[in-house]
Structure 1
């Protein structure tokens, strides 16, 4: 079951694996590699190395099932994506305020319910940031 146990932002390579695990569920390293190889071009050893690093970072959990290592995302998709989107909007685009809900409407990564949850999360986070800014006299980014 995904948890929110890490504050470590995933690299682009790690994000590719997380996106696959969110969609497919728990899988062995061989299964992960065979499904993403066409997109990434990675060898099996590269996939294993990334999964080991992600386990250390708390991004995935490793379980032994009948002698086979199986990996599962430990970070919740909507929460992580919300954090990455907020960081990108604030630090790269220098944006204040919530992003329009239509931003996620055509995303293949999110179901309708997840897109709605992400929109609520971003709106809530934006309101919290403004409240903190009001209390400290800052702009509330």
Structure 2
């Protein structure tokens, strides 16, 4: 995983890209403008920052910049959940993940993968799709 965790704004874009797949900045903007209230320039700035941080990858497709999530959803969420448990709740060790089984963010398979990840010590936090 990247050294820096995503901000709430960056996480909103990642959630969108995980659902929609690779998209141009305009396509991202069209989908997240209403819930976020962001201007197109804000979305572009966030995508540029996320590219620098290694959270998204920019690719040229038919002369258009297309962005895709570079971090894997389950791995990143597992890390964020473990970080929260350790740093906010002072918990360590395996975590019960049944709470996340009904999350709209995860498919059944992803919820199962997250459960397996959180029930282990979490040695692999790479999160990169290399």
| Same-fold status (TM-score > 0.5) | yes
Number of equivalent positions: 123
- Ranges in structure 1 where 5+ consecutive residues have no aligned partner: 129-141
1:121 — aligned with what?
117
* Counterpart mapping for 1:82-121 below 5 A: 82-121=78-117
Residue in structure 2 matching 1:55, options 51, 54, 67: 51
Larger radius of gyration: 1
Q: Report the CA distance between 1:87 and its aligned residue.
A: 0.3
Following the alignment from structure 1 to structure 2, what is the Cα–Cα distance between the partners of residues 113 and 40? 29
Q: Report the CA distance between 1:106 and its aligned residue.
A: 1.1
1:34 — aligned with what?
30
Following the alignment from structure 1 to structure 2, what is the Cα–Cα distance between the partners of residues 12 and 56? 17
Q: Report the CA distance between 1:101 and its aligned residue.
A: 2.9
TM-score, with structure 2 as normaliser: 0.89
- Ranges in structure 2 where 5+ consecutive residues have no aligned partner: 124-130
1:46 — aligned with what?
42
List structure 1 runs of 4+ shifted beyond 6 angstroms. none
Structure with greater helix share of residues = 1
Contact 2:96-2:119 within 8 A present in 1 as well: no
Following the alignment from structure 1 to structure 2, what is the Cα–Cα distance between the partners of residues 7 and 22? 20
2:63 — aligned with what?
67
Compute the RMSD of aligned alpha carbons.
1.3
